[in-house]
Amino acid sequence: MNEQLAKEVVGKLVDVISQQAREHLPSYVQSNWIDALSEVLSAGLYHKLVAVLVEIQVVNIEADVVEIIDSREE
């Protein structure tokens, strides 16, 4: 997968996670949880996810589900 597409996939994944947090977490923890997610992403998780997706040969995306299959040799 090329890097631009990988960034788009990670962006959509983050959007879905944030939306699910807004829908399912109690209001008193939502902003703290979303702030913590943002902090973890900016600490390097975002770049690591992009790097993994760039290396993956097959990615299946259906609705709100992202399936990542790592078929690299160990």
pLDDT tens, residue by residue, 28-47:
888 888 888 889 989 999 99
> Six-digit token pair at 57?
């040969």
The total domain count for the chain is: 1
d(CA 71, CA 32): 35
Per the domain annotation, does 37 fall within a domain? yes
Question: Is residue 9 very low, low, confident or very high in pLDDT (cuts 50, 70, 90)?
Answer: confident
pLDDT tens, residue by residue, 42-58:
999 999 999 988 887 66
d(CA 14, CA 20): 10
Residue 13 lies in domain:
3-69
The rounded Cα 45 to chain-centroid distance in angstroms is 9
Per the domain annotation, does 74 fall within a domain? no
d(CA 53, CA 44): 14
> Six-digit token pair at 35?
């702030």
